[in-house]
Amino acid sequence: PQKIDSMKAFVGYNKIRIENGAVVKDDPRVQINTSAIAKGYSCDIVADVLQSFGITNYMVEIGGEITMRGVNEKGDCWRIGIDKPTDDALAMNRELQLILSVCDKAVATSGNYRNYYVKDGVKYSHTIDPQTGYPSEQDILGATIIADDCMTADAYATAFMAMGLEKSVEVAKTISGLHYYFIYAKPDGEVDVLFSDEFQQFMVN
């Protein structure tokens, strides 16, 4: 606990700043971890390259984060599946929670149901709560975000996992063009879903 508390002093976007195109850190011990946006950003970069070659219909997927433009080979919007949250770290028995039909958007999903570790019979999330320094114990099991670019979708999908349901909905409603679908656990352990009104237009019945 003491070591974690000491490391919390280095957490926060206010620990760094950009000056003349360079990253400046007041404390050399501060580190930047871009894993929460790296896959989404990479999707956007690949998409930009495809666009530069005049390719307008494509789907770029990196590690589950997806950027889609144009239509598929059938002339329809791209269809993607969102997995049900199950304790299946190896993804051997995947079931779909829902199917989305998406054009000219990006989709990112974050969840604790595959990325976790178990120690002494206790399951720990891979998402670290920046306020406590410990693995997140929030009620959201999976967060799927649709946005105009994949880096944005990726960033918020991860952030919402650490925020919890109530705070995530509050924040999401303030961001234009951000659509959410949350799978969460109720206090009694029952699993339920909550999604924005705009998200429903992408859902396939």
- Give me the pLDDT at residue 4, please: 77
Strand pairing report for 22-25 and 105-111 = unpaired
CATH at 59 = 3.10.520.10
pLDDT band at 104 (very low <50, low <70, confident <90, very high): very high
184: which residues sit within 8 A by CB, 6+ positions away?
A: 139, 140, 141, 165, 191, 192, 193, 194
pLDDT of residue 194 exceeding 80: yes
Model pLDDT for residues 165-187, shown as the tens digit of each residue? 999 999 999 999 999 999 998 88
Contact by Cβ (8 Å): 33, 12: no
Model pLDDT for residues 15-29, shown as the tens digit of each residue? 899 999 999 998 888
Domain that holds residue 137: 2-11+19-202
- Give me the pLDDT at residue 31, please: 87
Q: How far apart are CA 173 and CA 83, in angstroms?
A: 24
Mean pLDDT across the chain, nearest whole number? 87
Q: Which of 64-68, 105-109, 182-186 has the lowest mean pLDDT?
A: 182-186
Find the angle CA(143)-CA(149)-CA(150) to the nearest 5 degrees: 50
pLDDT of residue 90 exceeding 70: no
Q: How many domains does the chain have?
A: 1
pLDDT of residue 91 exceeding 80: no
Mean pLDDT of 132-153: 86
Mean pLDDT of 44-64: 97
Number of CB atoms found within 10 A of residue 87's CB? 10
Number of helices (H), then strands (E), in the chain: 4, 12
Model pLDDT for residues 146-155, shown as the tens digit of each residue? 999 999 999 9
pLDDT band at 5 (very low <50, low <70, confident <90, very high): confident
